[in-house]
Structure 1
Amino acid sequence: MLRSLAPAPLPPAERYRRGSRELRRVNLALFVAGLTTFMSLYCTQALLPVLSHAFGVSPTASSLLVSAATGTLALAVIPVSSLSERFGRTRVMLVSSAVAAPLGLLLPLCPSFPALVAVRTLQGIALAGVPAVAMAYLADEVHPEALGGAMGRYIAGNTVGGLAGRLLPGFVTDLAGWRWALGVTALVTMLLSLAFWALLPRSRFFTPSRAHGGSLLRHLADPGMRRLYLVAIALMSMFVTVYNYLGYRLIAAPFGVPQSVATLVFVMYLAGTFSSPAAGSLADRVGRRPVLLGACAVAAAGLLLTLAGSLVAVAAGLMVMTTGFFAAHTVASGWVGRRAATGRAQASGLYLFSYYLGSSVGGSAGGLAYQHGHWPATVAYGLILISVALLAAAGIRSVVASRVREA
């Protein structure tokens, strides 16, 4: 009897597992994506005083160069995530980065302040594709046992990008002016975008579906999802409030540090670079709920420490708070992707909308606390928000009989 010469069928594709070469490539690609996205998103923040002087606008007007980008990104993440359900994760991310990178090159060429705001508005819309889809892509392609760690590494890229986007333009401005600062930043993000395009593996487990409002409504109807979105709003409101107004405290008595030194508080973002992957990996091993609750408690302890009268203690408190915040953000965002059986990009889009809603609305509301009660009132406001996040996280496990084990 003749043996068949037909080749044996290939084994079915398997999601990327911890320790595999393919997962390392995915982690690197998404780290680079987070780096370039958040460098672009926050590249004007450190330059606001310089740009205010250059164009003769008030500090409030100058802040539009940040809020125009973050606000339009928040509005765009949900429709962009819906597009990815129809046209694919990798396609949307690659198109997003391909459009956003050239827009950055237009910033140093802008002749007026309204032109700068207009380009930043377009840049926010273009940048939305990566954060709106990255978490869903990871949830599709990465094995559940390694999803938390992969999500943590992506968020670590976000933290490094946010830090670099604030520090690099500031350093270049001192040497060559703000136009060169934005130009150099745009060139760096262009090179990073090229690396992202080369590294990102194509989707293997994505199944196209017709995006519609029903998926959004299903996610909003899930009490566990609603609690995760509330965690995002509360924690981001606290986090942005602290970084917005701590500088005012450091410049005033009794510390009286120079403005240039006060801006170095953003270096504390590096704490999130380490805590994000660590928290994600820990959540993979012991469960998401206990790690999320623990991260919130760490953030609260750090916030309390900033009440101290010692500059060293304040710096230590800020580092601890930042560590807890990014750990909690990693676990909560990963939990959204794991919990959503369908419409994962839309579930992640709702999470990011909540996240940036907290940044814009909750962060501004924190200014009222600082205005009326200075730093003690600001800390009290932040602790209330952390308490809201703790209560929301504590109830997630019991609200639904989940399709998958949640913790």
Structure 2
Amino acid sequence: MPARPRRRRTTEEGTVMAQASIYEQILDPANRANPYPLYTQLRRTPVTREADGTYVVSTYAEILMLLHDHRVSSDPRSRAEFAEGLPGLPLSFISRDPPEHDRLRELATRPFGPPCTPERIEGMRPWLTETTDDLIGNLAGRHRIDIVDDFAYPLPVTAICRLLGVPREDQPRFHHWADGLVETADPTTGTFAERQRRRNQITGELGEYLGGLADDHAARPGDDLISGLLTDTGPHAPMARADLLSTCALLLVAGHETTVNLITNGMLTLLRHPDVLDRLREEPDLVTPLVEELLRYEPPVQLLTSRTALADIDIAGTTIPRGSPIALMLAAGSRDPGRFPDPDRFDPDRTDNVHLGYGSGIHYCYGAPLARVETQVALPALARRLVNPRLVADPPPYRPNPTLRGPRHLLVDIDAVTPATGTAARERVLRPAHR
């Protein structure tokens, strides 16, 4: 399919300027607060080709098809500029294709969570509840809070460090590395090659720290994830040291950044829908379908740009040539009216809600079980304990990143913070079945 010619407009001075494509407008930070009307326009043509050769896929069925297509690679080494490999830590398993991906993901999953070790994540629920109560308790006496800085960031960062076995005093060091890695997921910050080189520089620094941590855990194993990876005796074990470090580096970002956005987007959505906020206060079990609807309606991961066609792929009347970059617009697919009735309506009672919030196929989000539990604990607690919460600004200021989309700050005025309700109320929190 030939490149779609870019529309041009003429300024008053007579200068001819190229008009930004819909995809370029989606990437523009000026549209971060509400990209959904642009997704509606994008879906009119399920597959479009950008001037740089990227194929943008925006409809549910086509995205799902490509997420399950073995001819679509997640490995940057499938692109010519990285054919000889990359320096630094090896690629994490989410950036590899089978069979490497399958072996490493199996090793990473066994000590982490379902289906192999379901008790690890579920076992964190009481601790998460206590930590959530403490964070909210620290807001007592204040009448203006920032949901991001005061709550949505510290909760998952503390959780992932506890899961990995990172000493509490080392947690501030992760902020710098995490921010740097998140920036490399932003397709507007330099070329793909530049972002990949920056990512490897950061993971190299992080790898040095994690290497020392792994040595400590090898000498004195505990009940943390690093110790679990080091002491695994199952098939294909143990995981090579370099792969272990890259897996832990992956968890640093995957284990907290998406959850920061999910909790923040969730609270923003609840404040915009006060009837649902009131229901959540009275119906704790509502939180499970509510979180799934948030993952469809305001997903923390909006698009995937790290895919490459390994062969010519015919889809929706278009041929994506071998070697072409592919952008999968997950958030557009999750609001596709061909799949979801009334898709622009927030409806926690929605049924058959098989959204794309965590992707699908072999690269389905590794950290999804932890993110779900954290958000299922966090949102009801905020709903119960913040008295008369009100948005200070709507829309709030957003981070520029179009991939990991969420507010930079979410300022909320409150009348008061109620005390934690104790063990009896905590036991009412639903323990949902694993997906």
TM-score, reference length from structure 2: 0.31
Q: Which has the higher helix share?
A: 1
Q: Which has the higher strand share?
A: 2
